[in-house]
Amino acid sequence: MGRPGDTRSVTRAVPDLAYVECANVFWKRVRQGSLPASAARDMLTDLRALPLSVWAAEPLLERSLALAVTFDVAVYDAVYLALSAQLAMPLVTADGILVGKAGGPSEQLCLLESFSP
């Protein structure tokens, strides 16, 4: 997470479920035949090596559920919103549907495509 154009040190925080979500995407691509299993394993290794600050999702559940109800999004998407709010840091995401449902792009909610480190 960070502000677009901010060149200072940026904390990249994710809920712990981010690893499961990414691994599931890798699995889907293997299943579809668009990614060899060995490449999926390599991608998982690379993901786990990233310098991320990992936060437990469980303490965020109450706020996540409330946000999910408010914005009509899945709870696992709302966990990212809740973590962003808890850390008082912008959420940078490629999920345009989430951004749209949560009020559109803002200083606190940025589309990855418009983010430049």
Q: Which tens digits make up the pLDDT trace of 83-99?
A: 999 999 999 999 999 99
pLDDT at 7 over 60: no
Q: Is 5 inside a domain boundary? A: no
Q: Is 58 inside a domain boundary? A: yes
| Domain residue limits at 50 | 13-114
Query: What's residue 5's pLDDT?
Result: 46
Total number of domains in the chain = 1
Vertex 95 angle, CA 93 and 39, to 5°: 80
Q: Is 99 inside a domain boundary? A: yes
CB within 8 Å of 37: residues ≥ 6 apart: 30
Give this prediction's pTM: 0.83
Q: Is 4 inside a domain boundary? A: no
Q: Is 30 inside a domain boundary? A: yes
Q: Is 47 inside a domain boundary? A: yes
Query: What's residue 117's pLDDT?
Result: 59
For position 42, which CATH number holds? 3.40.50.1010
Query: What's residue 100's pLDDT?
Result: 95
Q: Is 1 inside a domain boundary? A: no
Vertex 100 angle, CA 97 and 102, to 5°: 105
Which residues sit opposite 91 in a β-bridge?
Answer: 109
